[in-house]
C-alpha cells in the first residue's frame, strides 16, 4: 500500500528582531483545516498545519509519534526538518543537545514528556524517550523479547560525510556504497545505546565536534545537514514455538531524524568566500533533494521505470532508501511568519507541497537491512546585522516601488489581481528557478 510523504507545516512566532523591525505577518492559518494562506490569497494544504502557539508535544504526538508504531512493526521511518535559516528546524527537531542534556540530567526517562522544564524539548529526545519506554514495556510483558538499539550520527558538510560519533577524533570523510540495494556508509560508527539520557549525552558530544570547528567562524546557524539514525533490531528468543509464531524472526528497522541545513540566497546575505562555498553546497544538497522529490512525486500511471537523480548529492544518496519508497516519512516544513521572509516562506511552502506528492511503498523488512548514517549541524550566521539592515531597507524600498507601480485593479477581479501583486512581491531567483526554488534554512 502506498503511503504518501506527510508534511507538517510549522509557523514559528515572530522573533524579537522581526518585531523590532516592525515586520508584519504574511501567513494565516484556517481554523480546523490543515491550510495556510500566504500573502493575500495563496492557499496551501498539508497534512498538518501548526500555528505559532502549537506546543512541541502536540507536534510530536500528531506527526512523529505514529512513526514509532511503524518502526516497531519493521518499517523504516524518517523525519526531515526543512526551512530557511532561523525558521525553527533545530528547535523542532530538538537538536540543541547541550542545553537539553543538562536539563535532562535531573529528570528521569518517563518524566520527559510531562515536566514543565522540558516543554521546549523537540522531536529527537521525545523519540528516544518513547522508544526506550516502549522497549521497557514490551520486555516487562515478555521476557523473551530482545532488543538492540544502535545509533549513528553524521553530518554532510560541503558534500563530505563526517562521522560525528567517531571517538578517535580523526576527520576522515566517509564514502557511501550500495550493497544489495541498501545504502551503507563505510566505516561509520554505530554505537549501542540503552537509554535516552545517555544517547542525548552522546549526541551532545558528537555535535560539539562540529560546533568547535564553526565557532572560529563566528557562526550561529546550521550550515550542514545532520542525520541522526536509530537502528532497531527486535527478536523473540522464546524456546517455545507455535503456529504463526514470530519466534526467531529478526526485525530490523531504522529511523532517520534529519535536521537540514539552510541555503541562503547569496544576493540577500552578501555571502563571502567560505559562506558562499557552503551556500552552494547546501543549495546543491537541497536542490538535489528537491529534484528527487519532484521526480518521485510525478504522476506515473504506466509505472514506467524513471530515473531518480539520487546521485546528484550526498544528501540524496544517504536518504535514498528513505525517499525511494521503503519508509514512512514526515517533512516538518518550518516557516517564519514575517513579511520580510515571505519569499523564503513561499519557497518552503512550494517545496513542501511537492514532497506531499510522493507516495512511498514501505514493505516489512524482517531480513537484512544494513547500516545507515546520519549527520549533524554546523552553524553560521547567514546575514550580519549591518547587512541585514541594508537588505531590509533595500527590500522595503523595492516593495514600496512595486506597490506604487502596481495598476489599480477593480474589486471584482480580486482573485486575478491578488495573484499578480503576489507574484510581483515574490521575485523568483533565476539561479534556482526550476522545479521549485530552494529557500534559506539553517
Ligand atoms: P533553524 O534551525 O531553522 O535555523 P532554529 O531552530 O535555530 O532555526 O530557531 C531559531 C530561533 O528561533 C531559536 O532561538 C529558536 O529557539 C527560536 N524558535 C524557533 N521556532 C520556535 C518556536 N516554534 N517557538 C519558539 N521559539 C522558536
Ligand atoms: Mg538549525
Report the pLDDT averaged over residues 376-387.
Answer: 39
> For the segment 323-365, what is each residue's pLDDT rounded down to a tens digit?
766 688 899 999 999 999 999 999 999 989 988 877 666 554 4
> For the residues of 144-208, what is the DSSP string, one character each?
TEEEEEEEEEEEEETTEEEETT-TT---PEE-EEEETTEEEETT---EE--SHHHHHHHHHHHHH
Answer yes or no: is 434 within a domain.
no
> For the segment 150-208, what is each residue's pLDDT rounded down to a tens digit?
999 999 988 889 999 986 666 688 999 888 777 889 999 999 999 998 898 898 888 87
CB neighbourhood size of 22 (10 A): 9
CATH number at residue 231: 3.40.850.10
Whether pTM exceeds 0.75: yes
Answer yes or no: is 417 within a domain.
no
State the Cα angle at 211 between 20 and 11, rounded to 5°. 40
Answer yes or no: is 99 within a domain.
yes
Task: Quote the ligand 2 centre to 418 CA distance (angstroms).
Answer: 33
What residues pair up with 83 in beta bridges, in sequence order?
334
Task: Write the DSSP symbol of residue 47.
Answer: S
Domain count within the chain? 1
Grid coordinates given for 139: 520486555
> For the segment 97-136, what is each residue's pLDDT rounded down to a tens digit?
665 666 666 555 555 545 555 678 899 999 999 999 999 9
Q: Which atom of ligand 1 is nearest to the CA of 56?
A: 23
Among the bound ligands, the one closest to the CA of 58: 1
Answer yes or no: is 418 within a domain.
no
Of 10, 81, 88, 348, which is best to mutate to test ligand 1, by the most ligand atoms within 8 angstroms of its C-beta? 88
Answer yes or no: is 336 within a domain.
yes
Answer yes or no: is 11 within a domain.
yes
Answer yes or no: is 39 within a domain.
yes
> For the segment 389-436, what is each residue's pLDDT rounded down to a tens digit?
665 666 667 767 766 776 543 332 222 222 222 222 222 222 222 222
Q: Which domain, by its residues, includes 389?
A: 3-404
> Which residue's alpha carbon is at the smallest distance from atom 5 of ligand 1?
88
Answer yes or no: is 441 within a domain.
no
Lowest mean pLDDT among 15-19, 83-87, 320-324: 320-324
Whether 385 shows a pLDDT value over 80: the answer reads no
Report the chain's mean pLDDT, rounded to a whole number.
75
Model confidence at 211, pLDDT cuts 50, 70, 90, reads very low
Task: Quote the ligand 2 centre to 148 CA distance (angstroms).
Answer: 30
Amino acid at each position: 500500500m502506498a503511503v504518501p510523504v506527510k508534511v507538517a507545516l510549522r509557523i514559528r512566532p515572530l522573533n524579537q528582531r522581526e518585531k523590532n523591525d516592525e515586520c508584519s505577518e504574511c501567513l494565516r492559518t484556517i481554523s480546523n483545516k490543515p491550510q495556510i494562506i500566504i500573502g493575500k490569497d495563496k492557499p496551501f494544504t498539508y497534512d498538518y498545519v501548526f500555528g505559532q502557539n502549537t506546543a512541541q508535544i502536540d507536534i510530536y504526538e500528531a506527526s512523529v509519534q505514529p512513526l514509532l508504531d511503524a518502526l516497531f512493526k519493521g518499517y523504516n521511518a524518517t523525519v526531515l526538518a526543512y526551512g530557511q535559516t532561523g525558521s525553527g528546524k533545530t528547535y523542532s527537531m530538538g537538536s540543541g543537545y547541550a542545553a537539553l542534556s543538562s536539563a535532562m540530567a535531573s529528570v528521569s526517562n518517563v518524566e520527559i514528556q510531562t515536566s514543565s522544564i522540558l516543554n521546549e524539548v523537540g522531536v529527537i529526545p521525545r523519540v528516544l524517550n518513547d522508544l526506550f519506554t516502549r522497549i521497557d514495556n514490551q520486555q516487562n510483558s515478555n521476557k523473551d523479547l530482545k532488543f538492540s538499539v544502535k545509533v549513528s550520527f553524521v553530518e554532510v558538510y560541503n558534500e563530505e560525510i563526517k562521522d560525528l560519533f567517531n571517538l578517535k577524533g580523526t576527520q576522515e570523510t566517509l564514502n557511501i556504497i550500495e550493497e544489495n540495494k541498501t545504502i551503507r556508509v563505510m566505516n561509520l560508527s554505530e554505537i549501542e545505546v540503552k537509554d535516552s539520557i545517555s544517547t542525548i549525552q552522546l549526541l551532545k558530544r558528537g555535535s560539539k565536534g562540529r560546533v568547535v570547528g564553526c565557532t572560529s567562524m563566528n557562526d550561529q546557524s546550521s550550515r550542514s545537514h545532520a542525520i541522526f539514525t536509530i537502528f532497531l533490531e527486535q527478536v523473540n528468543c522464546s524456546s517455545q514455538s507455535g503456529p504463526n509464531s514470530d519466534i526467531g524472526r529478526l526485525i530490523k528497522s531504522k529511523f532517520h531524524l534529519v535536521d537540514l541545513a539552510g541555503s541562503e540566497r547569496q544576493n540577500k546575505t552578501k555571502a563571502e568566500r567560505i559562506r558562499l562555498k557552503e551556500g552552494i553546497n547546501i543549495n546543491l544538497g537541497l536542490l538535489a533533494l528537491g529534484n528527487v522529490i519532484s521526480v518521485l512525486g510525478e504522476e506515473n500511471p504506466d509505472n514506467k521505470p524513471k530515473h531518480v537523480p539520487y546521485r546528484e548529492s550526498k544528501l540524496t544518496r544517504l536518504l535514498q532508501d528513505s525517499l525511494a519508497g521503503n519508509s514512512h516519512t514526515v517533512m516538518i516544513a518550518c516557516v517564519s511568519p514575517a513579511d520580510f521572509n515571505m519569499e523564503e516562506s513561499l519557497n518552503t511552502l512550494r517545496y513542501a507541497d511537492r514532497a506531499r506528492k510522493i507516495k512511498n511503498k514501505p514493505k516489512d523488512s524482517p531480513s537484512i537491512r544494513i547500516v545507515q548514517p546520519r549527520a549533524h549541524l554546523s552553524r553560521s550566521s547567514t546575514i550580519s546585522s549591518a547587512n541585514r539592515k541594508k537588505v531590509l531597507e533595500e527590500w522595503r524600498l523595492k516593495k514600496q516601488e512595486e506597490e506604487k507601480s502596481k495598476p489599480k485593479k477593480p474589486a471584482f477581479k480580486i482573485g486575478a489581481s491578488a495573484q499578480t501583486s503576489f507574484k510581483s512581491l515574490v521575485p523568483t531567483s533565476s539561479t534556482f528557478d526550476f522545479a521549485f526554488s530552494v529557500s534559506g534554512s539553517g
